Structure 1
Amino acid sequence: MRRTLYRILETSAGNRRGVSLVFNIVLITIITLNAIAIILHTVPAINEKYARLFIDFELFSVLFFTVEYVLRVWVCVENDRYHHWFWGRIQYMLSVSALIDLLAIAPFYVTLFATDLAIVRILRLFRIFRLFRVSKYSHAYRMILSVVRDKKEELLLSLAMIVFMLIILSSIMYYVEHPAQPTVFSSIPATMWWAINAMATVGYGDIHPVTALGKTLASVSAVMGIALFALPTSILVSGFNEHIRYRKMPPRCPHCGKEL
């Protein structure tokens, strides 16, 4: 029975057909309805009219996800990675996937014992983690993870370039604008807020240069920011192209290299 439940709960453990397909459809539907409920719950008119429905659906969802989480912990030993009856389950419970499942239900149980309304509101926000559960069944999500994993060195390099440029621009702008605006450009960390806005071309406007040299530097920063932020985008695009091209390639014999 444990093996059968494992094949039903884990889409990667077998074909997505029969009971497994029905369960995955039901699970994704409940997760989607939870996302809609979280959004509509913040609308005063709707919440006032359907408050009882939101509470009942929340109780049903927590019960459903709790039973599912317990079953997943029970059947995870069927996976070779978690074969040990005790340490295998501990290892599974500490995995990213299991932690997301736990965060989807834990806030509800914590709020039962919390008396501070501010803490209760914060914990309720964690219900949004239920949305991340859909990603486990999404081919697009798995492809994104695969691309990021393959291109992590290039992405880290581009991120380092952005950080270095942020520090350099903030330092230069501080020494240029501080004499004219000592309270606005009060320090290099404070100037970093301006640098982020300039490089991201957001133009928030609460901090801006007033000297001619400062305005020139701001213009250069905006142009450079476009180029720098385009770099990780191009890396991801090339990674997606490689994965899509690889998936469309016909299978080849591992010995002779001919198409099968």
Structure 2
Amino acid sequence: MTLRKKVYSILEVTREKKKGLAWFFDIFLLTIISLNTVAIILHTVKSIRQETDVFFVGFETFSVIFFSIEYLLRVWVCVENPKFQNPVWGRLRYMVSFTAIIDFLAIFPFYVSHFTTGSGLIRILRLFRIFRLFKFTRYIHALRVFENVFREKREELILSFVLMLFMLIISSSIMFYVEHDAQPKVFSSIPATLWWGVSTITTVGYGDTFPITPLGKFFAGVIAVSGVVMIALPTGILTSGFSEHISSRRKETHPHKFCPHCGKEIEKHT
């Protein structure tokens, strides 16, 4: 076995891993990810940050070095995977995959922050460190199920969100023209009315912006009811996706218990 294949076997995630170097690496990596998440949260507490800032900086540096080495190793060994066999294009394909992008986002803010001076940009880049939490998806099966369902239903989800966007723009435009004369400061423009549209369609209803004319109240009621239907659309798509995924997994793990024609359990088949 070549060195690259050995490293690949250590980095690759499989549910059958026994207690060995690969298993200990997974545990160590998950521990580092967990501690990073805790550190990001605690670093926002002023009293803790002032007393232990040196520790936070040191741990951040260690974590970035560790994640950087891990990222480079994964790019190096990814050609052992049949999907990325080509030494050039295979690695490029891997680098734009979801897991590789998450790995990259976990380290790049640290390097970029050393070349930027704007405090606002640095705060945004520091926020990107929370992406390290998404590295858990590689190791927790339940999170991989979420990823698979979203990937399988992405077209339906995109369509539902596009419909919601259309509804938001149309409803906000209507409400602007209906309420502008009565409340010129509240409904001052269509972009300003979009906030009302979001809170109404999602049925949150903060109450900071609301119609006062009879026609405006009528349209608001119609839009609120329609919003319930629109919000339920992606929920139904995801529910269907999870049901299909769980059903296919059951058939893969217990193929002898299901009829290959109708899909029913054999003991219940009539």
* TM-score, normalization by structure 1: 0.88
**Paired amino acid for 2:17:** R
Q: Which residue of 1 is the match for residue 88 of structure 2?
A: 86
Report if aligned partners of 2:199, 2:206 keep a CA contact under 8 Å in 1: yes
Q: 1:179 to 1:121 in 2, by over 3 A?
A: closer
Kindly indicate whether residue 252 of structure 2 is the aligned counterpart of residue 251 of structure 1: no
Please say if residues 13 and 138 of structure 2, whose CA atoms lie closer than 8 Å, have aligned partners that are also in contact. no
Q: State the partner residue of 2:36.
A: 34
Per the TM alignment, residue 162 of structure 1 is displaced from its structure 2 partner at its CA by 2.0
In structure 2, the gaps of 5 or more residues are: none
Tell me the SS of whatever aligns to 1:132: helix
More divergent stretch after superposition (35-44 vs 237-246): 237-246
The SS at the match of 1:50 is helix
| Aligned pair partner of 1:104 in 99, 103, 106 | 106
Matched with 2:229 is 227
SS of residue in 2 equivalent to 1:23: helix
Tell me the CA shift for residue 6 of structure 1.
0.2
Corresponding residue for residue 150 of structure 1: 152
Matched, 1:74 2:80: no
- One-letter amino acid matched to 2:230: L
Q: How does 1:128-147 map to 2 (within 5 A)?
A: 128-147=130-149
With 64-73 and 77-86 compared, the bigger mean Cα shift is at 77-86
Aligned mates of 2:62, 2:87 — CA distance in 1: 30
1:136 Cα deviation after fit: 1.7
Q: CA RMSD in A?
A: 2.4
User: Residues 83-109 of structure 1: CA distance to partner in whole angstroms, max 9, x if unpaired?
Assistant: 233333233223332222122112212
Match of 2:173 in 1: 171
Q: Work out the CA distance in 2 between the residues paired with 1:20 and 1:133.
A: 16
Counterpart residue identity of residue 203, structure 1: G
Alignment partners' CA distance in 1, 2:224 and 2:242? 28
Quick one: distance in 2 between partners of 1:7 and 1:221? 54
User: What is the match of residue 200 of structure 1?
Assistant: 202
In structure 2, what is the Cα distance between the partners aligned to 1:152 and 1:114?
36
Q: Secondary structure at the match of 2:107?
A: helix
> Kindly, what percent of the aligned residue pairs are identical?
54
Note the residue ranges of structure 1 that are not aligned, 5 or more in a row: none
User: What are the within-5 Å matches in structure 2 for residues 45-64 of structure 1?
Assistant: 45-64=47-66
Instruction: Give 1:252 deviation, angstroms.
Output: 4.7
- Aligned counterpart, 2:17: 16
Match of 2:189 in 1: 187
Seen in structure 2, the aligned counterparts of structure 1 residues 148 and 120 have a Cα distance that, compared at 3 Å, is closer
User: How far, CA to CA, are the matches of 2:166 and 2:125 in structure 1?
Assistant: 36
Give the structure-2-normalised TM-score.
0.85
Q: Tell me: CA distance 1:85–1:165, structure 2 relative to 1, closer, same or farther (3 Å).
A: closer
Structure 1 residue identity aligned to 2:225:
V
**Mapped contact 2:8–2:77 kept (Cα < 8 A):** yes
> 1:238 Cα deviation (Å)?
2.0
Distance in 2 (CA, whole Å) between partners of 1:168 and 1:120 is: 37
- Secondary structure of 2:227's counterpart equals helix
**Number of equivalenced pairs:** 256
Residues 115 and 170 from structure 1, CA distance in 2 versus in 1: closer, same or farther, beyond 3 angstroms?
A: closer
How has the CA–CA distance of structure 1 residues 228 and 190 changed in structure 2, closer, same or farther, with 3 Å as cutoff? same
Give how far 1:229 is off: 0.4
Change in Cα spacing, 1:211 to 1:161, as seen in structure 2 (3 Å) is: same
